[in-house]
Chains A and B, each alone.
Chain A
Amino acid sequence: MTRHIPWILIAIVGAVALSVVAVSRGEAVNALWIVVAAVSSFLVAYRYYALYIARTVMRLDPTRATPAIRRADGLDYVATDKVVLFGHHFAAIAGAGPLVGPVLAAQMGYLPGTIWIIAGVVLAGAVQDFMVLFISMRRDGRSLGELIRMEMGQVAGTIALFGAFMIMVIILAVLALIVVKALAESPWGMFTVAATVPLAMLMGAYTRWIRPGRIGEVSLIGLVGLLAAIVYGQSVALSPVWGPAFTFTPVQLCWILIGYGAIASVLPVWLLLAPRDYLSTFLKIGAIAALAIGIVIMAPPLKMHAVTQFVGGDGPVWSGGLFPFLFITIACGAVSGFHALIASGTTPKLIASEAHAPIIGYGAMLMEAFVAIMALVGASILDPGVYFTMNSPAALIGTDAASASAAVTAMGFPISPELIVQTAKDVGEHSIISRAGGAPTLAVAMAEIFSHVVGGPAMKAFWYHFAILFEALFILTAVDAGTRAGRFMLQDLMALAVPGFKETKSIVPGLVATALTVAAWGFFLYQGVTDPLGGVNTLWPVFGISNQMLAAIALMLATAVLFRMKQDRYVWVTMAPTAWLLVCTLSAGALKLISADPKVGFLTHAARFSAAADRGEILAPAKSMEQMRQIIFNDRVDAALVAIFLAVVLSLLFFTIRTCLAARRIAAPTAREIPAQLVPAE
């Protein structure tokens, strides 16, 4: 009993912190209460729930050899130290999603987001990562698509592969859109990000020919280069020649990114992708750690309201009510379907013992949720007026300080035009109006926190561009790596129709698949960039729906596997989050398709515009008949995409139910695990 006492204390601390966050009204709540509430909930959840799943539901067996032991080859299958593997897995799952989603979710106030991140990760997100890791670990580290094929049949596997490809396309488009929003009309930011390309190539040459394999050395050189680029970027931005040369409109940036994606993804990996991945990975881990330390030192009060009037819908940042769209918007920080691809990727081939699975599978996802909590804190310590000025579309608040100040003040978040101008000046930008996408908002918050700790207000502009660079860097790495991954997925799919297409030695199928992948995400990027409502408004919910659907698919697989293991008594562990995710995604998908509110439903929006077009009318924000047709076309494409996602998830639900019913009719376990083998004695 005494061993439970510290955990009971942690639970009490967490409960107190959570109730302070939940019930305080009127006076400002300190951000540390949110941090304490999250950390203590995570510790208790790990100690009790993760261990319950490990011992009772999965029945992990430390004497059973993992793929890293059975198939050891010193390369892909390597029994890896628990701490080292935790770092590897966390670095692989942490991306832009958990930073952006919570920032966007802050439009409803900090309370709904906090509660969902904590509850969602404990009951759904971490369970998903952990279960997929477990399933893959027992099956030679196979990938999600192969696992679905093994347990639910060929057709289900192919549908899942197709769904994963579509999700990849949307992810790449939305990530690229965030970069466009962050770098448009920002010569300082654009210069520093552009500088990373030659810098990475230099690093690539260094690791290729001068000192092969010296990752630490070359990363330090790269870091010095990056810092120099940020410092020098200010002079570039101010220069009358170079400033305009690095100033791009969103549409120009969109084409630059599409060209970049197409070229970067066919270059040799050592030249650009690998060295930039070193920089972005280490910078990401460093920035996350610095943010955590900064928040603890600064202990900032929350300025955002606990709950805003936008919980009912009608928010300027994204449309739709709290249910289901808050859950769709937060996405990765609470539950991320994409992690199922990582947990069935390299990690299961590296895990040294089944006993390490809880800390890697469940623990790393808790850490990711902690990152999401920090992003939410970041957005909530800003003046709400600044937050809504940055995140509302220009169609609502105009493009100058006076109109933005009037519109945001009218929303109930008073802000003076002087503060808008001053905030932009502080961070070294021309304007902060309508810098949607989450990244600029988070960068302002990080500049606030970092400059409090190091450098004071004079360093704000430096830290702002440091934060933009850190986000843009790993997003661009993801665009490059994702285009390559998408290309292989597409080649696998096309090989089903044209057998020769999988041929990876011949150059033509690879180029065709790459071009198609870039064209696919480029289409949605262009659509998002030219969307008069800001793009994020349209694309982020589609991304969120697709990501949460992939999570539902992974949890359905886990449910089917538990039935096939004859662990029927414990299937609620995966069935409950599956049911919740299905309810959220299916209702969000259905609303996006057929909601009568034109701000939410794509088809209603299209119908309204097409009726107006037939009458020869032009509806704002369109300015010409051409734009009217563009909007109608985009709406219909988005609707089709959502319909495809709905069809994928419903058909996999059908296969899951069939598999579960079949498993229940048979008395013996039918799960297709690789037969147990003992860990060899030392």
Chain B
Amino acid sequence: MTGLLDTLRRTARMMVGVPDYDAYLRHMREHHPHLPAMDRTQFFRERQEARYGGKNGGKCC
């Protein structure tokens, strides 16, 4: 049940362009341990800008 809720939560966030923050942290830890990782707020703002501010703004008809 928690698995289903978690999937729903992640699906809803991905629908509006926000990927999993924990996965991002894991990626940074594994591949770029020397670089500083963004905190949750910075991550959210970065993703928001990337989804709407740039060229991915195209929505479907």
When distances are taken between beta carbons in the complex, the residues of chain A under 8 Å from B36 are none
Report the nearest A residue to B11, measured CB to CB. Answer: A87
Query: In whole angstroms, what is the CA distance A83 to B7 when docked?
Result: 8
When distances are taken between beta carbons in the complex, the residues of chain B under 8 Å from A107 are none
Taking the closest CB of chain B, its distance from the CB of A111, in whole angstroms, is 25
Is A83 a contact of B61 with CB atoms below 8 Å? no
Is A269 a contact of B55 with CB atoms below 8 Å? no
Q: Which of A156-176 contact B (CB under 8 A)?
A: 168, 171, 174-175
Taking the closest CB of chain A, its distance from the CB of B49, in whole angstroms, is 6
- Chain B interface residue count, CB cutoff 8 Å, equals 41
Take A85-B14, A216-B9, A346-B17 as given contacts and tell me if A477 and B59 are in contact as well, using a CB distance cutoff of 8 Å.
Answer: yes
Binds B, one of A89-97, A303-311, A429-437, A656-664: A89-97
Is B61 a contact of A338 with CB atoms below 8 Å? yes
A485: interface (CB < 8 Å): yes
Is A270 a contact of B19 with CB atoms below 8 Å? no
When distances are taken between beta carbons in the complex, the residues of chain B under 8 Å from A72 are 27, 31
When distances are taken between beta carbons in the complex, the residues of chain B under 8 Å from A73 are 27
Take A74-B23, A91-B15, A216-B12 as given contacts and tell me if A332 and B55 are in contact as well, using a CB distance cutoff of 8 Å.
Answer: no
Q: Which of B1-56 contact A (CB under 8 A)?
A: 7, 9-20, 23-28, 31, 40-41, 43-56
Interface size class for chain A? 35 or more
Give the tally of cross-chain contacts (CB within 8 A): 135
When distances are taken between beta carbons in the complex, the residues of chain A under 8 Å from B11 are 83-84, 87-88
Is A75 a contact of B50 with CB atoms below 8 Å? yes
Report the nearest B residue to A282, measured CB to CB. Answer: B12
Taking the closest CB of chain A, its distance from the CB of B38, in whole angstroms, is 9
Query: In whole angstroms, what is the CA distance A83 to B40 when docked?
Result: 24
When distances are taken between beta carbons in the complex, the residues of chain A under 8 Å from B20 are 78
When distances are taken between beta carbons in the complex, the residues of chain A under 8 Å from B25 are 74
Is B60 a contact of A336 with CB atoms below 8 Å? yes
Is B61 a contact of A95 with CB atoms below 8 Å? yes
A605: interface (CB < 8 Å): no
Is A212 a contact of B44 with CB atoms below 8 Å? yes
Is B57 a contact of A270 with CB atoms below 8 Å? no
A339: interface (CB < 8 Å): yes
Query: In whole angstroms, what is the CA distance A678 to B58 when docked?
Result: 32
Taking the closest CB of chain B, its distance from the CB of A280, in whole angstroms, is 9
Is B12 a contact of A478 with CB atoms below 8 Å? no
Is B60 a contact of A339 with CB atoms below 8 Å? yes
Residues on B facing A (Cβ under 8 Å):
7, 9-20, 23-28, 31, 40-41, 43-61
Residues on A facing B (Cβ under 8 Å):
72-76, 78, 80-81, 83-85, 87-88, 91-97, 143, 168, 171, 174-175, 207, 212-213, 215-216, 269-270, 273-274, 277-278, 281-282, 285, 331-332, 336, 338-339, 341-342, 345-346, 350, 474, 477-478, 481-482, 484-485, 488, 543, 547
